[in-house]
């Protein structure tokens, strides 16, 4: 069965530092991969998506992610975080009308 694993429940970084959020998926075929962000009490906003082609994907708000088939990973990165990046981040796999979400990573930013 397809699944998504986000191994880090919480991550804390200092403002201006670089960020990497990990995501591993389990799916037999080429997956559709997504990263969503959710601020407290808000809906989900799509940061970026991977369907095919270039394995380095650029998204909004300065985020990027790299698809590595050999490692079944789709890690999210940002070179320099801002206080406004504090939120919950969900990695997700899409297939057959469904999105399978990971459990999420809560990002905390230190001033």
Partner 1 sequence: DTEVTQTPKHLVMGMTNKKSLKCEQHMGHRAMYWYKQKAKKPPELMFVYSYEKLSINESVPSRFSPECPNSSLLNLHLHALQPEDSALYLCASSQYKTTPSYNEQFFGPGTRLTVL
Kindly state the smallest distance separating residue 97's Cβ from partner 1, in Å: 5
Binding partner 1 (rule: CB under 8 A), the pick from 44, 62, 64, 77 is 44
Using DSSP, state whether 71 is helix, strand or coil. helix
CA Rg, the chain, in Å? 13
Q: Does residue 43 bind partner 1 (CB under 8 A)?
A: yes
Q: Does residue 104 bind partner 1 (CB under 8 A)?
A: yes
Q: Does residue 59 bind partner 1 (CB under 8 A)?
A: no
- Per CB under 8 A, residues contacting partner 1 are 32, 34, 36, 41-46, 49, 51-52, 90, 94-95, 97-99, 101-104
């Amino acid at each position: 069965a397809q699944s998504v694993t986000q191994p880090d429940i919480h991550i804390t970084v200092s403002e201006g530092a670089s960020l990497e959020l990990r995501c591993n998926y389990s799916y037999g075929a080429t997956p559709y991969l997504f990263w969503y962000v959710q601020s407290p009490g808000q809906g989900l906003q799509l940061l970026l998506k991977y369907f095919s082609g270039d394995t380095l994907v650029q998204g909004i708000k300065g985020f990027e992610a790299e698809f590595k088939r050999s490692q079944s990973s789709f890690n999210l990165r940002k070179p320099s975080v801002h206080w406004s990046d504090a939120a919950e981040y969900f990695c997700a796999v899409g297939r057959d009308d469904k999105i399978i979400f990971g459990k999420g990573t809560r990002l905390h930013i230190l001033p």
